[in-house]
Structure 1
Amino acid sequence: MKSILKASLIFLLIMNVSEIQAQEPNPEFDHHFTHVVYFWLKNPNSAEDKKAFLTSLKNFMSKSEYAKTKFIGEPAGTSRDVVDGSFTYSLILTFPSKDIQDKYQKEPAHVKFVEESQHLWERVVVYDSVGL
């Protein structure tokens, strides 16, 4: 059942991104490689932890030389059986290729973000996909 829910979430995310792209063209969105990350903070009700996490994440995003689309989100408050709103923050990044995404994984800004923020989260889930 979990794998069906995960597959459904991925499909819905892809469909929503595609629909948004059809309505509002964004030259920054690259359909070649999408990196979607969900973070569950250890203390999601701590304003201090949330501020520290977002400050680090936004700093990283401003310095990333490889990521094109840079979307930071939080649960939308939708309530349907297929929606998992248990995460604290989401991150959607796009890249022109897997090779560029591989470089992003090692770039100093990304490494620094992980080092300074990993103590704040209890769980991270990543979905990587390539465009059709």
Structure 2
Amino acid sequence: MKTLMTVFFLIFGIVAYGQKNDTMRDFDTNFAHTVYFWLQHPESQADRDAFETSLQKFMDNSAYAKTKYIGRPPKASRDVVDGSFTYSLIVTFESAEAQQKYQDEAPHKLFIEEVGHLWSKVIVYDSKGI
């Protein structure tokens, strides 16, 4: 009975307080893909606009990406926080296979083609849930 109540409250909490953003879906703990981008000219508003537009278009058209979070670094409040990047992207997938299909899909290739020249560095961290 205790387990049943726990499950009930967990489901209620997810439904009642879950993400409401239409572009955000449930966080899938099977596979997380985190990408950090450093633009060559981060002070250029034109470069930022082009990058954000292309990245948003890519995320809107990806058939495999679940959670789609695009961020910028906040002002670092602690020495352990690395805020040197220009943009971050966190995407989750139902499996490593789905993530590989995402790498090969046309919207991903178009994103790289459109704005790959704008960045000077990209670091990717992939992780599988435990």
Corresponding residue of 1:129: 127
Task: Tell me the TM-score normalized by structure 2.
Answer: 0.81
Runs ≥4 residues deviating over 6 A = none
Corresponding residue of 1:65: 63
Question: Which of 48, 66, 83 is equivalent to 2:81?
Answer: 83
Corresponding residue of 1:99: 97
- The one-letter amino acid paired with 2:62 is S
Question: Which of 47, 50, 66 is equivalent to 1:49?
Answer: 47
| Runs of at least 5 residues in structure 2 that lack an aligned partner in the other structure | 1-13, 20-24
Deviation sequence 1:53-109 (CA, Å, 0-9, x none): 000000001100000000000001122111000000000000000000000000000
Q: How many angstroms does 1:45 deviate by?
A: 0.2
- In structure 2, C-alpha distance between the alignment counterparts of 1:77 and 1:32, rounded to whole Å: 30
| Runs of at least 5 residues in structure 1 that lack an aligned partner in the other structure | 1-20
- In structure 2, C-alpha distance between the alignment counterparts of 1:62 and 1:106, rounded to whole Å: 16
Task: Tell me the TM-score normalized by structure 1.
Answer: 0.80
Corresponding residue of 1:74: 72
Bigger Rg over Cα? 2
- In structure 2, C-alpha distance between the alignment counterparts of 1:28 and 1:111, rounded to whole Å: 25
Count of residues in correspondence between the two structures: 110
Deviation sequence 1:34-60 (CA, Å, 0-9, x none): 000000000000000000000000000
- The one-letter amino acid paired with 2:57 is N
